[in-house]
A and B are shown apart, each in its own frame.
Chain A
Amino acid sequence: MTAPLLKVEHLTMRFGGLVAINDVSFEAEAGRITAVIGPNGAGKTTVFNCLTGFYKPTVGRLTLTDAKSGHSYLLERLDDFRITKSAGVARTFQNIRLFAGMSVLENLLVAQHNKLMLASGYSLLGLVGWPSYRAAERDAVEKARFWLDRTGLLPRSDEPAGSLPYGDQRRLEIARAMCTDPALLCLDEPAAGLNPRESAELNTLLLMIRNDYGAGILLIEHDMSVVMGISDHIVVLDYGKKIAEGSPAEIKANPDVIRAYLGEDDTTEALAEGVVE
């Protein structure tokens, strides 16, 4: 059996005395959508921050295996930017982080920085307008155009990213992450704040990324129509622990999950919003 794209083993994260994640293990496969769900404060975003290097986990091993090259990376040992650059993990943020003053297209070109940097001969060839750099830049613009087309943002490509409506900004962030050519795409609540139509469009986009592009997707989401509609595999966290794992159908039927999460009332959930999120 080949190694899974992402293998999380015994991940634990403590902040001072607070245990945000407690011995969580799970796997994510390439070409599949894995959802991490759980009530607010369950530690989902912390898992993401450990995966993408923004936090160094207290204990645990995070292995990413690129099927194409066969390389394995121990994510907990890499600097955050190397996790994207070398291991090919891209992410979006719960509270969108676009380069608001730069244009939509520029956002997508910044995402292709490392490739373009090499092509520009660390700026030396670029300064003199070397042909190979020009070609690389054209390719980069083409890739950006492709993802803009897929996310329906093509007409707005030259506007400042900050001027886009909320739903467009969410899609732009996904397009930007895809421009890094990720093996694993981590999405932190991509459907938050979207209306039902936008939410449905998001489903189509994510399925396209999974099917046509073959990237593994790791998804944190509250919107159950998204989670149940497109996930292949679901991991449920509660109070930093994994309480269940399985297909959408299994999760729907799991009594622990219902008790911990789905059964809970929205108001108590809002109150449970903790430090970790």
Chain B
Amino acid sequence: MEYLVQQVINGVTLGSVYALIAIGYTMVYGIIGMINFAHGEVYMIGAFTSLIGIIVMGLLGVTWVPLALFMVLLASMAITALYGWSVERVAYRPLRGSFRLAPLISAIGVSIFLQNYVQISQGARPKPIPPVIRGGFELMTSSSGFTVTLSYLQLFIIVLTIVLMVGFTYLITQTSLGRAQRACEQDRTMASLIGIDVDRTISMTFVMGAALAAVAGMMVTLYYGVIDFYIGFLAGIKAFTAAVLGGIGSLPGAVLGGLLIGLIEALWSAYFSVEYKDVAAFTILVLVLLFRPSGLLGRPEIEKV
């Protein structure tokens, strides 16, 4: 029982990370109907900028952890967002109106490029950092001596995710940018006819998705304490699975899907096998596509004929 509670806590933490990445997939899919394969790599960039930021903070002597983390978070979000923006501008925008596979192939190209770019500039070895946030609450102890802990870091991750979700929901539902985005999702031509700058709206979608991925990147850097240039690949597939599971195009779906994938992965590793934990997400992806392609919260796609 205690073991299970611990796994659920771990799963929710992991799920928060996946949810933040999944939002990037789902938003881009919603607005231009394309799977942004490079999104996992953008998240990896976010992790690396956070890592570098944390080290720089240490060198600069910023020792008050909340301030240091806040500054790193802002810097990482800004830089990663710029990556997201540039990727769209260079590799996707010129391809609107090209044949169907063109943006997908271009996205694969971007993905390979970014991976190797970081590998070359930062080295292929895994990068460890010492824990920044230590300690936690001991929630309960079983008779056999197993203690369930909710670390401050886990709490930080979960709370930060909730705060971001609230802010993000406000952004989408209440601001003019959010309205423009929803309008573009419905009908891009019509949106441009009523004076919405479609290109700018799409750019902003990439910027927002990348900024959230940067947060996820920082969380992972802090949580695992080690990252490498290859983490974007699997995280990307899992977050995409989360987006599909929740119903691609649906924001609450992405969050739900992310949490579920996190939980499933944590429980699978705990009770089945750690080696095959990456297989779990993939199996779910295929099962969802097989039995409920529109996902848990998605609406079935109506084909325009």
Which residue numbers of A lie inside 8 Å of B, CB to CB? 15, 45, 49, 54-55, 93
Q: Are A93 and B305 in contact (CB under 8 A)?
A: yes
Complex Cα distance A15/B302, Å? 9
The reply on B138 being an interface residue by CB < 8 A is: no
Chain A's nearest CB lies how many Å from the CB of B248? 18
Write the residues of chain B forming the contact surface with A, with a CB cutoff of 8 angstroms: 302-303, 305
Q: How many cross-chain pairs have Cβ atoms below 8 Å apart between A and B?
A: 7
Q: Specify the chain A residue showing the minimal Cβ separation from B187.
A: A275
Shortest Cβ gap from A210 to chain B (Å): 25
Docked complex Cα distance between A49 and B302 (Å): 11
Given the complex, which residues of B lie within 8 Å of A55, measured CB to CB?
Answer: 302
Please measure, in the bound complex, the distance between the C-alpha atom of A15 and the C-alpha atom of B305, giving whole angstroms: 15
Would you give 7 A-B contacts (Cβ < 8 Å), ordered by A? A15-B302, A45-B305, A49-B305, A54-B303, A54-B305, A55-B302, A93-B305
- A51 smallest CB distance to B (angstroms): 11
Output the least CB separation between A113 and chain B (Å). Answer: 20
* In the complex, chain A residues whose CB is within 8 Å of the CB of B305: 45, 49, 54, 93
Please give, as numbers and ranges, the residues of chain A lying within 8 Å of B302 by CB-CB distance.
Answer: 15, 55
**A62 to B305 alpha-carbon distance, docked (Å):** 19
Give bound CA distance, A171 to B282, whole Å.
47
Q: Once the chains are docked, how many angstroms separate the CA of A54 from the CA of B304?
A: 9
State A45–B304 Cα separation when bound (angstroms). 11
- Distance of B190 from chain A, by nearest CB (Å): 11
Q: How far is the CA of A54 from the CA of B303 in the complex (A)?
A: 8
Which residue in chain B gives the minimum CB-CB distance to A55? Answer: B302
When distances are taken between beta carbons in the complex, the residues of chain B under 8 Å from A54 are 303, 305
Residues in A whose Cβ lies below 8 Å from that of B303: 54
**Residue of B with least CB distance to A52:** B305
A93 to B304, CA, bound (A): 11
Give the distance to chain A from B214, nearest Cβ to Cβ, in Å.
Answer: 36
> From residue B297, how far is it (CB to closest CB) to chain A in Å?
15
State A45–B303 Cα separation when bound (angstroms).
13
A146 CA / B215 CA spacing, docked (Å)? 64
B66 CB to nearest A CB, Å: 46
Smallest CB gap from A101: residue in B = B99
Name which residue of chain A comes closest to B186, CB basis. Answer: A275
Query: Taking the nearest CB of chain B, how far is it from the CB of A263, in angstroms?
Result: 28
What chain B residues lie within 8 Å of A49 (beta carbons)?
305
Give min CB distance, A111 to chain B, whole Å: 18
Distance in angstroms from A46 CB to nearest chain B CB is 10
Q: How far is the CA of A71 from the CA of B207 in the complex (A)?
A: 58
